[in-house]
Chain A
Amino acid sequence: MKIKEIQDEIIEEFSLFEDWKQKYEYIIELGNTIELIDEKNKTDSNLIKGCQSKLWLYAELKNGKVIYTADSEAIITKGISAILLRVFSNQTAKDILNSDAKYIDAIGLKEHLSPTRANGLVSMIKQIKYYALAFNTN
């Protein structure tokens, strides 16, 4: 599926929740389904800066697609990372570079993207793009 289609699908899913509890229960559930980073890649250089809980992100190129894996000590951070990975992982570098993360606003998680939240998600989106940029020029 294309990035935009997955984003629309997520927006649709989140529109069904009646309150924040349902939404957060779902995020927590997603946290447990994330494509986990390999233990050997859980290095300091793969840590996302500015995060209260440790958050690792790794990327590799497979068959022309960028595959992202991640993990976090905090399950909510992990869940939101999973929402990012579901959209951006397994896409071409070019498509990733041509997309944005505005859907996070649309599903009412904008607060998590504020730079003051100290959860590292803004840095994570930047890092996702940096990886795509690196693979795009290769």
Chain B
Amino acid sequence: MSFDINKIRSDFPILKRKINGSNFIYFDNAATSQKPNIVIDSISDYYKNYNSNIHRGVHTISQEATDAYENARAKIQKHFNIRNSHEIIFTSGTTHSINLVANGFQDLLSDKDEIIISGLEHHSNIVPWQMMTEKNGAKIKIIPINENGELNMKAYDNILNSKTKLVFVNHVSNALGTVNPIKTIIEKAHKVNAAVLIDGAQASAHFKTDLQELDADFYTTSAHKLCGPTGIGMLFGKEKWLKKLPPYQGGGEMISDVTFEKTTYAELPHKFEAGTPNVSGAIAFGIALDYLNEIGFKNIYNYESSLLQYTTEKLKLIPNLKIYGESKDKTCVISFNIDGIHAYDIGALLDKFGIAVRTGQHCAQPIMDHFGISGTVRVSLSFYNTKKEIDVLYNSLKQAISMLS
């Protein structure tokens, strides 16, 4: 299918909004993506036509809802090329997935063990491990980053050893857009028998990942980053790991046999899906994947790459503007500051021009500390953005700077 930007934009009703009298321009896609009609409609269709609890009912609509829910799992399986569908756990999103794994490893590790976290992590990727290591005494080692916002792989080689049991890296940094060399990281970790969890939240909207080829032990993403709804995500875990980890939450759906003396847990994936799941969310997640695959990830990648290049060149025309994170391999995220002007002021004025950007630390204080700054303005693009919108950003930014200087 060819890439028809006008058709694509017409799929997203929110893009028709006006903010402060100007056309709404959404450049906060790394925080969450906008939703196409087909995703929005799938949620109301579910509630209007076949809302029911799944896996238990014998009646027609319960079967329909169960089929749609499991069909969504099958779509995720196909999209990420996952060997078995029961290796996919529906979670409420990436943060939930990480907590699930961290909780599982709590009893598997002791104070003799080490885990490795990259210096490019989002807070949600740091805190669960700190909570875990407070309980089991395992040590956290950090892979430092260089001036371009890339992981220092030599340092990784130095901290990786036979005590390392787990490695945590995001596929793409949310603050800088750096694409990390996760294939190499995984290969090296496996040589010392460490498991690897990859946070794919910032990657999944921009390119397709083959999880069998990648050979990650765990991989997680959130649907809302890729045109799906909030409150739903997936955790992939290799069967051998998911069997080893204890259940995270107790409740219905995750049990096979219950007496007051003992409960036998259900098989995968239900062991980790306690309670009534987010059925409409899972279905809409599947629809979002369909939508993106129909546009084609190659098309998306090519279009976004040209947008990134255009934006970077355009922003560099602005005097005293410094871009943070200029890795050769990055997604369409541009984090920057302008000398002598606080990021918050830029963000507040751009909002007045109808442009949504993110300012601040982007939940990644350690990265900001690394660069010795308190925050940045982050422009994060998506395939429904246009060069024309970048031109509006450029002109608005110039006006904002002249107001603030």
Which residues of A are in contact with B by a Cβ distance under 8 Å? Answer: 20-21, 24-25, 28, 52-54, 73-77, 118-119
Question: Given A21-B403, A54-B374: A76 and B348 within 8 A (CB)?
Answer: yes
Q: Are B342 and A73 in contact (CB under 8 A)?
A: yes
Chain B: minimal CB distance from A104 (Å): 15
Q: Are B20 and A20 in contact (CB under 8 A)?
A: yes
A24, A52, A54: the one contacting B349 at CB < 8 Å is: A24
Chain A: minimal CB distance from B322 (Å): 17
Q: Are A52 and B375 in contact (CB under 8 A)?
A: yes
Q: Are B344 and A25 in contact (CB under 8 A)?
A: no
Q: Are B360 and A76 in contact (CB under 8 A)?
A: no
B349, B352, B374: the one contacting A73 at CB < 8 Å is: B374
Which residues of B in the span 118-157 have a Cβ within 8 Å of any Cβ on A? none
Q: Which residue of A lies closest to B375 (CB)?
A: A52
Chain B: minimal CB distance from A109 (Å): 11
B20, B341, B344, B352: the one contacting A52 at CB < 8 Å is: B344
Q: Are A75 and B342 in contact (CB under 8 A)?
A: yes
Which residues of B are in contact with A by a Cβ distance under 8 Å? Answer: 20, 341-345, 348-349, 352, 359-360, 374-375, 403-404
Q: Which residue of A lies closest to B359 (CB)?
A: A52
Please name all residues of chain A whose beta carbon is closer than 8 Å to the beta carbon of B348 when the two chains form the complex. 74, 76, 119
Q: Are B403 and A28 in contact (CB under 8 A)?
A: yes
Chain B: minimal CB distance from A24 (Å): 6
Please name all residues of chain A whose beta carbon is closer than 8 Å to the beta carbon of B404 when the two chains form the complex. 28, 75
Q: Which residue of B lies closest to A19 (CB)?
A: B21
Some 11 contacts from A to B, beta carbons below 8 A apart, are: A21-B403, A25-B403, A28-B404, A52-B359, A52-B360, A52-B375, A53-B343, A53-B345, A75-B341, A75-B345, A77-B345
Most buried by A among B20, B343, B344, B359: B344
Please name all residues of chain B whose beta carbon is closer than 8 Å to the beta carbon of A53 when the two chains form the complex. 342-345, 374
Chain B: minimal CB distance from A98 (Å): 31
- Alpha-carbon distance A73/B344, docked complex (angstroms): 9
- Alpha-carbon distance A24/B402, docked complex (angstroms): 12
Question: Given A25-B403, A52-B359: A74 and B344 within 8 A (CB)?
Answer: yes
Q: Are A118 and B360 in contact (CB under 8 A)?
A: yes
Please name all residues of chain B whose beta carbon is closer than 8 Å to the beta carbon of A54 when the two chains form the complex. 374
Q: Are A76 and B345 in contact (CB under 8 A)?
A: yes
- Alpha-carbon distance A80/B200, docked complex (angstroms): 40
Please name all residues of chain A whose beta carbon is closer than 8 Å to the beta carbon of B345 when the two chains form the complex. 53, 74-77
Q: Which residue of A lies closest to B352 (CB)?
A: A20
Chain B: minimal CB distance from A52 (Å): 5
Most buried by A among B343, B345, B375: B345
Question: Given A24-B352, A52-B360: A74 and B403 within 8 A (CB)?
Answer: no
